[in-house]
Chain A
Amino acid sequence: MSVLVYTESLKGKFKKNAFEVASYAHKVAQDLGTTVTAVSFNAEDDASLGTYGISKVLKVSDDSLTTFNAKAYADVLAQAVKGEDAKVIILSSSVDSKFLAPILTAKLTAGYVPNVVAAPESTSPFIVKRTAFSNKGFAMTEISSDIKVIGVSSNAFGVVENNVSASVEEYSPSLNDDAFAVKSVEVDRVVGKATIADADIVVSGGRGLKGPENWGMVEELADVLGAATACSKPVSDMGWRPHSEHVGQTGKPVASNLYIAIGISGAIQHLAGINASKVKVVINNDPEAPFFKAADYGIVGDAFEVVPELIEKLKEFKAQNA
């Protein structure tokens, strides 16, 4: 038996979450007294996974799998699970992993727990801690099936180095046309900009910014920090910013290391969506804004004065620490 991980990559480069799931899998494998096998798709630097505790990489090189396809990828992983006699499968909580995991789960008649925030509390019985109620609580969930699928939250377990030497084997699973019945026609992805899912830092603006024309300073602040930009629900509902930036209970979830909220009052639905972030900063001119109760650091003040000043100070800081 072994532990199997799906290591995500984009254009040949592993994503940060690939190293996170590898690190998590190494911990689980240690607890179970076994090793970790990774499955990679058209990735370039497979041997680098050894840094994070992967002993064996099943390297899939297939032009038909260049673009993510949930069903085809799940087919490949299911074959690898059988071939490796894997009992625990670890994925991330990215949009792609959450698309693929339920398909894999059904194929393997496995138990699947997403949004897992810590190493298993015990492996017999197998119990993991996950978020529930949109980050308003946690559940300790037991998985009792023979095969177990775990989706690890981003920025929760983190990236941990465990140097082993990774053997890389070419892996050619068999796929039939059925696997491609859901076809990607066109991918429209913002390039050269951090995404909310991957970013360590997210800078978010709310109604307090008064209008879309004032977003320049939000973007500049994000630029200085290498952060992704986001917004509150009213801002996306009014069309000031695209829906893809809406974070909160019905928008995208945020689990960044640092979340900076500018002109966002902090409605309970917004806080639920961003609560998994480690450090929260609020800038708001209303000292009674509920966000101040949820934040770690706060500035009561006019965003139009505070934010440009913050950008200047951060530039100075970067210059000194470059």
Chain B
Amino acid sequence: MKILVCISNVPDTTSKINFTEGDTQFDTNGVQFVINPNDEFGLTRAMWFKEKQGATVHVVNVGGVQTEPTIRKALAIGADEAIRVNAEPKDGFFVAQQLAKVVKKGEYDLIIAGRESIDYNGGMVPGILATLLDMNFVNTCIGLEIDGDTATAVREIDGGKEKISTSLPLVIGGQKGLVEESDLRIPNMRGIMMARKKALNVIEPVDATQPTQDQKFVKPAAKGPVKLVDAGNVGELVELLHNEAKVI
């Protein structure tokens, strides 16, 4: 089985978000970048398939040269090879078209992406990719087993979960649940050393459409101070929620 894990290079979850150049760009100043958490759960599940079922695992990222430390981290965790499509990820449709080219060329059986990146939250790359390639697709995936060409997946739904049966080739929009938080791997020194020798192939982008464009960013309006209610007067909170906030 040949697996491609799509990784996004995103600001660490604790990052403060600021904008620059007249609020048209995300300000990367002082921001630590990491593998998108939803993708990291998928990458860890892919490592399980590598170790238990002999799968080959490649990772791909669409981004400039500045994303290479994040790609190297994925190699240090255990991916066999990496591909970087040398283009700014302009929008989800653009990125999916770049990935479609990579998948066709590499003849992958299983493509694991995150359900969304925690920066632009588009949540569309895996679904567009699957549809462009006419592959099966399961989103918000929290469990995945592969047996030959048969796949059994569990998908999170509003208010519960759904068991799904499908077949390879398959695209997954994954999230926490594919593996647990405690299963995530911190690269060790041996992994980091080995990652330096692994192939990181840079390829140029294909011409692609970009139907959406972020014109401007806005920070949430500053919030007024919290209104404190005395612990001995809980009834006042009920009154405020009813009369002032009008939510009960």
Contacts and interface: CB of A to CB of B under 8 A. Distances in A.
A298 interface: yes
A169 interface: no
A201 B163 CA distance: 28
B219 interface: yes
Contacts of B215: 127, 139-142
A295 interface: yes
Interface residues on A, range: 35 or more
B128 A70 contact: no
A225 interface: yes
A190 interface: yes
Contacts of A106: 93, 96, 127-128, 131-132
Contacts of A185: 152, 162-165
Contact of B14 (A68, A113, A145, A269): A269
A185 B155 CA distance: 11
Given A99-B139, A257-B247, A281-B237, A183 B165 contact: yes
Interface in B211-248: 211-220, 223-224, 226-231, 234-235, 237-238, 240-242, 245, 247-248
Contact of A182 (B138, B217, B248): B138
Contact of A71 (B11, B137, B162, B177): B137
A269 B37 CA distance: 12
A154 to B, nearest CB: 10
Contact of B247 (A190, A258, A275): A258
Given A112-B92, A243-B176, A296-B245, A282 B226 contact: yes
A111 B212 contact: yes
Contact of A249 (B13, B91, B128): B13
A297 B139 contact: no
B42 interface: no
A250 B218 CA distance: 22
Contacts of A295: 226
A310 interface: yes
Interface string B156-183: 1111111111110000010111001110
Interface string A197-217: 110110000000000000000
B103 interface: no
A63 to B, nearest CB: 18
A137 interface: yes
A140 B173 CA distance: 25
* Best-surrounded residue of A95, A237, A249 (most CB of chain B within 10 A): A95
Contacts of A279: 241, 245, 247
A105 B237 contact: no
Interface residues of B, number: 84
Contact of B234 (A139, A141, A299): A299
Contact of A190 (B92, B159, B162, B182): B159
A233 B245 CA distance: 28
A138 to B, nearest CB: 4
A229 to B, nearest CB: 12
A82 interface: no
A258 B19 CA distance: 29
Interface of A: 68, 70-71, 94-96, 98-99, 101-103, 105-107, 109-115, 127, 129, 131-145, 181-190, 193, 195-198, 200-201, 225, 233, 237, 243-244, 246, 249-251, 257-258, 268-269, 272, 275, 278-279, 281-282, 292-302, 305-306, 309-310, 313-314, 317, 321
26 contacts: A101-B127, A102-B92, A102-B125, A105-B127, A106-B127, A114-B121, A129-B218, A133-B118, A133-B121, A137-B17, A140-B214, A142-B214, A182-B164, A186-B162, A187-B163, A196-B159, A197-B159, A237-B181, A237-B182, A250-B176, A279-B245, A292-B226, A297-B237, A299-B228, A301-B231, A313-B234
7 nearest A-B residue pairs (beta carbon): A102-B127, A111-B211, A301-B231, A106-B131, A195-B159, A189-B160, A145-B211
Interface of B: 11, 13-14, 16-17, 19, 26, 37-38, 91-93, 96, 115, 118-128, 130-132, 136-140, 142, 152, 155-167, 173, 175-177, 180-182, 209, 211-220, 223-224, 226-231, 234-235, 237-238, 240-242, 245, 247-248
